[in-house]
Structure 1
Amino acid sequence: MIFRTATRRDLPAVVALLSDEDSVVDPRTVDVDEAYTRAFEAVDADARNEIVVIDEGDGTVLGCLQLTYIPGLGRHGQERALIEAVRVRADRRGAGLGRRLLTSAIDRARGRGCTLVQLTSNKRREEAHRLYGSLGFARSHDGFKLTL
């Protein structure tokens, strides 16, 4: 397994992972339109953002997450990392890939000098919450979203 920053070639597989949490979606069937391409290019061009993928070693993407580095005045001006869009392919869950992917992201953040890693998760994703707790994440805040 290789944990690496996603390339443009990985975009269909990442979109497939994000499109359906409960089943395996063939990346060849995903419509990667201009909006996805534009968003990927913006993330790829931003030094404070990266999409990390699990590559089976042959280019097959088994999981992904987005890692965003946030500067701020809180925590005495220390940078923090935000993890979002964590997904592991439905047929590969339960084998520790999510743990390894998150550990890789935490290590990336630590290596960059971040002093905090935070994430949000849909309240329905109870298995994911158990994983996050086992990695030391604490339910310390309530999150709020406003769809615009």
Structure 2
Amino acid sequence: MINIYLIGMMGAGKSTVGKILAKKSGKQCFDLDHQIENEVGMSIESIFEDEGELKFRYYETLELKKISNAVVACGGGVILSNENLNLMKRNGQIIYLRASINELEKRLIKSKNRPLLKNRNLRKSLKKILVERKKKYESIAGISILTDGLTPIEVSDAIIKELKL
């Protein structure tokens, strides 16, 4: 059975949309970051600080391998690992949830648990990360949806329509 992978920048709505989409499609929802935290017994922030980003990507791959017939809300950097990209391509549909820098900034301004944004200018950090990742997001996704101005329910409905679920 196929998975539906939601990819995109932090703050694009992957976790929120994932829960709604799973309910509407009759699939389980897995938030990849939460799965990793539960398996490893550490917060994402602690994993980044204590073990580094490479080890985090390793944990991400291990968790992706376990998931079947589900909606998967992926962390923003899941696309940085070629192994993750290949797993997702083989096992499901990849949906890129896009959002403008303004929208991402609005959504993330109060966030405290985003390791890649720690101690930095939020807007500048978001732009830098988006520039690094945008082409990968676009090239791997079969479907791309701009989430600006849409509710999570509207985004879920757009995905259902695109996938003909």
TM-score, length of structure 1 as denominator length: 0.35
Which structure dedicates a bigger proportion of its chain to strand?
1
Which structure dedicates a bigger proportion of its chain to helix?
2
